[in-house]
Structure 1
Amino acid sequence: MRLAERRWPTAPTGPEVALLTEVALSRVWTDGPWTAEVERLMEKVTGAPHAVAFNSCTSALHAALHAMGCVRGTPVAVPALTFAGTVTGVSHIGARPIFTDVRPDTLTMVDDFPEADIVLAVDLHGVPHHLGRESVPGRAVLTDACQSLGSTLAGRHVGATGTHAWSFSSAKIVAAPDGGAITTDDADLAGKLRELRDYGVPAGESRSNAGVVWPGGHNWRPTELSMAMVAHRLGGLDHWAARAGAVTGRLHEALDGLGLWRQHAPDTAEPAWHKVRFGPADLDERRTAEMERDLAEAGVPTHRWGRLPLHRHPAFGGLGWPKAPAADAAAAGTLCLGTEASPPMTWNDDEVETVCRILETTIGS
C-alpha cells in the first residue's frame, strides 16, 4: 500500500494528448471553441443558465466581485476558515473583509454578518454552505465553490441557482493545468463578466481599439489548451463524485465508530467530498499531532489544510479579530486523510479497508 505516491491529477490519456496536440497546432490559444464548449458544459452540469470561463477560480471571484458592485471600502463577509484565494479579489479591490466564524459541524460560515454588503460564502471541502444560494436578507451572495463541483443540495446541483465560482486547478475533481468559471442565473452579471475578463472592453469589440468601460477589467481569459482538457475531463465528473462519496462514506463510518469528530454536511446535501477532515472529539491539538504521527508511522498519509485561519494572516491584520473560535479550533485540531496528490477517492477498495483497520488499531488503541 503506497498511499503517498502521486495519483492525482490523473495522467493525460492518449486521446487527451492527441486533443492537446491538435489544439496547440491550431494556434488558436485563447477565445476559441474550447472556451465556449466549457461554458456550454458548465451550464449543462450545474443547471445554471449562464457560464463564463476564466483562467482561474481566483480571478473568477475577483471579476464577480467587481460585477456585483464591490468597490474600495465595501464590507464583504467571508469565513475565517478558507483558502487565501477566496479573498484575493477582496484585497485587490480594496474592499474590507469581515471574517466570520464557521459552524463547528460543517465548517461553513455562520449566519452572522451585520455589517456586510456582500456575502462571500464557501462550500468548504465540497460541503454546501447553509446560506441562501442567491442572497440573504439585503445582501447578495457569491459562493466560492472551488471544491464543490458535483455536489448537490436538495437533489439539485449546488450551482443551479445563484452565482458560483469554480476551479479546474490540479487538485480539483475536474483537474487541468489551470482554469476556472463563473455560473450564474443573472444574465446582466454574465455580460459584465465577459467584458471584465477581457480588459473591461465591450463584448465583441477589439481589445486593441475599443474603449475600456470597466476599470476593474483584466486579462483573465483562459487558454484553449486548458479548456480543451477541462471539457474532456468534465465527462468524468459523475464517476469521481460518486467515488468520492462512496470512499468518504466508508471512512466516515470508521471515524464515527471511534467517536472522533469529522466534518458533516447538511441533511439535504450530497457532497462530492473534496477532503475527509477529522480530529479528536474535543479537537485537542496535542492529541491531533499524536494521531498525525501515529498514522504516518502506519503508512497512512495525512495533511493539514487551513492551519492558519484568515483572520490571523498578517496581510489581514493578523490579530485574530473578530474572534472565530470554531475556525481556530478546527484549524489546530483537525487533519485531512490522504494528500492533495493522493486523495482518498483514488484509493482502491482494499486500500480503503486497510486504512479503516489502521484507524481502528492506531487511534482506537
Structure 2
Amino acid sequence: MTDTRIYLSPPDVSDLERKLLLDAFDSNWVAPVGPDLDAFEEQVAEVVGVRHAVALSSGTAALHLALIAAGVRRGDTVLVPSFTFVATANAVVYLGARPVFVDSTPDSWNVDPALVAEELRARAERGQLPRAVITVDMYGQCADYDPLMEACDRYGVPLIEDAAEALGATYRGQPAGSFGLAGVLSFNGNKIITTGGGGMLVTDDGRVAKQARHLSTQAREPVPHYEHRTVGYNYRLSNLLAAVGRGQVQRLDQMIAARRATFEYYRAALPDLTFMPVAGYGAPNYWLTCALVDGDDRDRLIARLAQRNIEARPAWKPMHLQPVFQDCVVRGGGVSADLFRRGVCLPSGSALTEHDRERVVDAIREG
C-alpha cells in the first residue's frame, strides 16, 4: 500500500470551522459583509495588538492598499527584500513604482537592516528617497525591527510590514504585523491559518484603515445611489470565509505549537542539516521548517522526497534573479542567492502525524 501524500503546508481545519461556516451559511450572511467578518477583524486585531483590521480578498490586496496609504505613485521607488515571494514586489509595480531589492542577512534570512540604512542614506544624499520600505517576516520569523524602524524614522520613510507568513510570531514581545504604517497578513491555504483565500491589513492608524476599507469596496461614497470619486477595488473578504477564519484564529496557538514541535523534531533527528536560524530577538511561528543543503544535493533531496510521495520545495528564488525584474536595482544579493541555491522547505503542516515526520526523516537519511 502506498503511503498517502505528505504536503508542504496543507490547510488544517476542524469541526469548529465547519460549524461556524454552516452557521454563517444558515444565517444567509453570505457576502460580501456580515457579523462574522466584523468578528474576524476584531479577533485578528486583538492578536496583532492593533486598533484596526480590514479583511480583504488576499494578502496582495492588503499590500496594494498599504502602498496606496503610504503615498506610493507612478515613478516612485520602494525598497523591497529580494528574498521573498513575488507578491511583495508585484504590489509595488501595480502602482507604476519600481522596487529596489535589498539582500538578506544569514543570521535570520530576513532583510539586512544595515543595507537598508545604507541605501536610505545614499538616496537621501541624492535627494531620491524611496516612497516606502517593505519588510518581510520570512517563513514566520520577524525581521529585525529596531534598526529598521530607526532608519526609516530618520529619513521619514514609511515602513510596511509584510507579515503574510508570520501571524502569531513576535519581535521583542511585540506581535508580527504591528510594525510601521501598516501590516499585511495572508490567509492563503498554505499559511499558518487559512480562510481558503484572503488577507488582512492591520494598523493603528485610523486614517489608513478607513482608506483601505473605502477603496476595497469600489470606493463607493456613503450616499443612496452609486457615487464614486476615485477608482476603487473589489477587495473585501466574504462573510463565509471570515467565519472559517474565526475558527482558525481560536486554534492559532495550537497550530504554532504543532509546527514548532515539527521543527524541533527535524532538528534533533537531522543534526547534519543546517536549519534556518531562530533569531534571539523574537519567537517565530514556525510556519515552514527550512534547511540548507549543498546545491546539487538539495535538488536530489527534493526529487527523492517526491518519489516517496512527500512534497518539499526550494526556498524562494530572489526577486533580483527573476526575469520579470531583471532591470531593477539590487543592493547585495549574494546571501539571498545562496539561500535559494541551497535552501529547502520541508513538510511543516500543523496536522503532521508522528508517522509523517518519521517518513520525512527516513527519506532524508537515505541520502
Q: Do structure 1's residue 83 and structure 2's residue 69 form an aligned pair?
A: no
What is aligned with 2:25?
24
RMSD: 2.6
1:75-154 paired onto structure 2 within 5 Å: 75-111=77-113, 112=115, 113-114=119-120, 115=123, 116-132=130-146, 136=152, 137-138=154-155, 139-154=157-172
Q: Do structure 1's residue 289 and structure 2's residue 299 form an aligned pair?
A: yes
Q: Retained in 1: the 8 A contact 2:6–2:356?
A: no
The structural deviation recorded for 1:266 is: 1.7
Cα separation, 1, equivalents of 2:35 and 2:309: 45
The structural deviation recorded for 1:356 is: 3.9
Cα separation, 2, equivalents of 1:38 and 1:146: 16
What is aligned with 2:244?
229
Q: Retained in 2: the 8 A contact 1:201–1:207?
A: no
Q: Retained in 2: the 8 A contact 1:3–1:301?
A: no
1 or 2 for the larger relative contact order (CA 8 Å, sep ≥6)? 2
Identity across the alignment (%) = 25
1:194–1:172 Cα change, 3 Å: same
Structure 2: unaligned runs, 5 residues or longer: 124-129
Secondary structure at the counterpart of residue 165 of structure 2 = coil
Q: Retained in 1: the 8 A contact 2:70–2:131?
A: no
Secondary structure at the counterpart of residue 202 of structure 2 = strand
Q: Deviations over 1:272-314 (max 9, x none)?
A: 111111123xxx31222233344445665422242x3211223
What is aligned with 1:347?
352
Structure 1: unaligned runs, 5 residues or longer: none
Q: Do structure 1's residue 278 and structure 2's residue 295 form an aligned pair?
A: no
TM-score by length of 1: 0.86
Q: Retained in 1: the 8 A contact 2:100–2:330?
A: no
Matched positions, count: 347
What is aligned with 2:326?
317
1:134–1:321 Cα change, 3 Å: closer
Cα separation, 1, equivalents of 2:268 and 2:158: 37
Q: Which residue identity is paired with 1:120?
A: I
User: Structure 1 stretch 49-58 or stretch 105-114: which is displaced more?
Assistant: 105-114
1:1-365 paired onto structure 2 within 5 Å: 2=3, 4-5=5-6, 8-11=10-13, 13=15, 16-25=17-26, 26-111=28-113, 112=115, 113-114=119-120, 115=123, 116-132=130-146, 136=152, 137-138=154-155, 139-162=157-180, 163-202=182-221, 205-206=222-223, 208-212=225-229, 214-215=230-231, 217-255=232-270, 257-258=271-272, 260-280=273-293, 284-296=294-306, 300-306=310-316, 308-317=317-326, 321=330, 323-338=332-347, 343-353=348-358, 355-356=360-361, 358-359=363-364, 361-363=365-367
Q: Which residue identity is paired with 1:145?
A: A
Q: Retained in 2: the 8 A contact 1:52–1:193?
A: yes
Q: Retained in 2: the 8 A contact 1:337–1:344?
A: no
TM-score by length of 2: 0.85
Secondary structure at the counterpart of residue 251 of structure 2 = helix
Cα separation, 2, equivalents of 1:207 and 1:143: 36
